[in-house]
A and B are shown apart, each in its own frame.
Chain A
Amino acid sequence: MSRPISPHLTWYKPQITSVLSIMHRFTGIALAAGALALAWWVVAVAIGGEVFTGTTAVYTSVIGQIVLALWTLALAFHMSNGIRHLCWDAGWGFQMRQVRSSGWLTLAMTVILTALVWVFVLLV
């Protein structure tokens, strides 16, 4: 007799708690991949010549810029939400009301920080 497992992931209501948590995970993975791109850029500068121009060409292409924009978004989110997590680890902000408002604040900070970076990149 094998008992069924009761429904979980697909039936449980998505909430700001769980959604931001899984986003933290996804952005963390994205940033780890982004660290590769950064490391490669440093190496490319050291090598110089065609390697550097090629790398710059990829990074400044349309697709490259979109990826970099998403990467900025990921960094902004992971850092904002990371600060939220550090506050929790320090024992602050555990009431559900605070959890929800800090969640929305995290999302707002993500948008503001990303916009700030890209306004500078594109206009200055």
Chain B
Amino acid sequence: MAELTLPTNSRVQKGKTWKHEGKAKHLRKFEIYRFDPARDALPRLDTFEVDMDDCGPMVLDVLLKIIDETDPSLAVRRSCREGVCGSCAMNINGKNGLACLTHVDDLPRGSIRLSPLPHLEVIKDLVGSLSRLYAQYEMIQPWLKSDEAPPERERLQLPEDRDKLDGNSECILCFCCATACPSYWWTGDKYLGPAILLQAHRWLVDSRDDHTGERLDQLDDSYRLYRCHTIMNCTSACPKGLNPAEAIADTKRMLAKRR
């Protein structure tokens, strides 16, 4: 059976509380998933109190402040802090999103819970292993495969054909969508998940690519593509406002049309 519950080594324990010292007007509590492979047998949930008057407005600001001032051992991926790199994707109050684009003030009152992207192997704290997703990305061969000889300058494309890439090529591979998909939780070893399928679609609709048929062959599998049950958690989670579910539906239509 697919494991619908967490295995015993993954049950989250109660952790430590890091109290804010001194007076603070706008204190907020952050419950953060912690796991250190060198020391912990089980993951735990630590609580940090942060004075929002003395901190930047975004969830990532809070995390960086905690690392700077409270607990330097907290592990977080981050880079651009403006929603372009996709590194700081995590589960914020039960929904996947980018810490750098999420306003603390937009989150409902009460404590805010931060955990790694769901159903990944946890490397440390908020850092989950993305290696399977990268392997699956590699599998769809995300590069242009043309039968034409390389031209001297760029490969030509009509503006309306270029428009078809809109909504596909803006993906930053943060994997908020893939790890929000229950289907990917249960069958992610074979199912490619929304992020990879959106990228597969990006090459399917590229007018310069000559391997559309082979690409479709590769996807025509009851697991790789058809584990998508149009749950729509992916589109709901995407921090860039893209629509992986729509791209997948289009891919399914392409496959139906060629039968």
Complex A–B touching at CB under 8 A: yes
Residue numbers of A with Cβ under 8 A of B are: 1-13, 15, 17-18, 21-22, 85, 88-91, 94-96, 99
For A15, what are the chain B residues with a Cβ–Cβ distance below 8 Å?
Answer: 95, 233, 236
Within 8 A of A (CB), among B80-112: 91, 93-95
Contact B235 A6 (CB under 8 A): no
- B231 adjacent to chain A (CB < 8 Å): yes
Contact with A along B97-130 (1 / 0, CB 8 A): 0000000000000000101111111110000110
Contact B232 A17 (CB under 8 A): yes
Contact B230 A88 (CB under 8 A): yes
- B37 adjacent to chain A (CB < 8 Å): yes
Interface residues of B, CB < 8 Å — how many? 45
Chain A residue, CB-CB nearest to B120: A6
A102 vs chain B, min Cβ distance (A): 10
- B6 adjacent to chain A (CB < 8 Å): yes
Binds A, one of B19-27, B56-64, B205-213, B244-252: B244-252
Most B CB contacts (10 A, CB to CB) among A4, A21, A85 go to A4
A100 vs chain B, min Cβ distance (A): 9
3 closest cross-chain pairs (CB), A and B = A13-B94, A4-B10, A8-B118
Known: A91-B246, A99-B235. A4 touches B253 (CB 8 A): no
CA distance A21 to B234 in the complex (A): 13
Give 4 new A-B contacts, CB below 8 A, not counting A11-B113, A13-B95, A18-B182: A6-B118, A7-B118, A21-B229, A91-B246
Contact A9 B4 (CB under 8 A): yes
CA distance A18 to B219 in the complex (A): 24
For A12, what are the chain B residues with a Cβ–Cβ distance below 8 Å?
Answer: 91, 94-95, 118, 180, 182, 233
For A8, what are the chain B residues with a Cβ–Cβ distance below 8 Å?
Answer: 6, 118-119, 182, 185
